[in-house]
A and B are shown apart, each in its own frame.
Chain A
Amino acid sequence: DGGITQSPKYLFRKEGQNVTLSCEQNLNHDAMYWYRQDPGQGLRLIYYSQIVNDFQKGDIAEGYSVSREKKESFPLTVTSAQKNPTAFYLCASGRETQYFGPGTRLLVL
């Protein structure tokens, strides 16, 4: 678990603002994932990437964007089109077993 990090721990977004969540891993994993978790809810897949320079939409991709320019990094941008962004965001890596980062809690001002 120590090989996958997320920053910041808390993030505040103003209305109309785009914000970017960072996810870095040193586990040499090809596959990386972003999930959204709402209170009392499960893990919903936003985007995933199986290899550098390629990514696919998950179940709730609207209002989000990603890039995968490096194997180690998979940043998530929450755009102004996401009208209800308040949630706990988890990044994971690993082809079969997924290992999670510590999460970023996004709050709206």
Chain B
Amino acid sequence: GENVEQHPSTLSVQEGDSAVIKCTYSDSASNYFPWYKQELGKRPQLIIDIRSNVGEKKDQRIAVTLNKTAKHFSLHITETQPEDSAVYFCAGGGGADGLTFGKGTHLIIQP
């Protein structure tokens, strides 16, 4: 089955700086890679996703990059704001077995 590893587990950045979270996956058949944001006590919510036929996708301050050869993908958040503080999960999959999630990154935005 798929195995998704996510780093770092905690990331602290100054407000206004950029944040990068990295994930690797093991199954070359995986073709869909979403990112979720989870605020304390709330449900995970999809913030951006990318499919294996695309190398990069942007949505305002958020971007995701995918390197299929190296089997890794990354989330980039620019001009970080206090409301970006949350736990972020990457996931990989897209087949009949659904998604495999990383263990999450706790992003802390320092004022």
Q: Which residues of A pack against B, CB within 8 Å?
A: 1, 31, 33, 35, 40-43, 45, 48, 50, 90, 96-103
Contacts and interface: CB of A to CB of B under 8 A. Distances in A.
Contact of A99 (B6, B32, B46): B46
19 contacts: A35-B101, A41-B104, A42-B6, A43-B44, A43-B101, A45-B100, A48-B97, A48-B98, A50-B96, A90-B44, A97-B34, A98-B34, A98-B98, A98-B99, A100-B45, A101-B43, A102-B42, A102-B43, A103-B43
Given A42-B6, A98-B34, 20 more contacts: A1-B43, A33-B98, A41-B103, A42-B101, A42-B102, A42-B103, A48-B97, A48-B98, A50-B96, A90-B43, A90-B44, A96-B32, A98-B99, A99-B46, A100-B44, A100-B45, A101-B43, A102-B42, A102-B43, A103-B43
B59 to A, nearest CB: 14
A103 B42 CA distance: 8
Nearest to B90: A42
Interface in B6-46: 6, 32, 34, 36, 42-46
Interface of B: 6, 32, 34, 36, 42-46, 49, 89, 94, 96-104, 106
Give the dominant DSSP class at A's interface.
Answer: loop
Nearest to B34: A97
Nearest to A102: B43
Contact of B49 (A41, A42, A90, A97): A97
A33 B100 CA distance: 12
A87 to B, nearest CB: 13
A1 B45 contact: yes
Nearest to B51: A96
A41 B44 CA distance: 13
Going nearest first, the 8 A-B pairs with the smallest beta carbon separation are: A42-B103, A100-B43, A43-B101, A42-B104, A100-B44, A102-B43, A42-B101, A96-B32
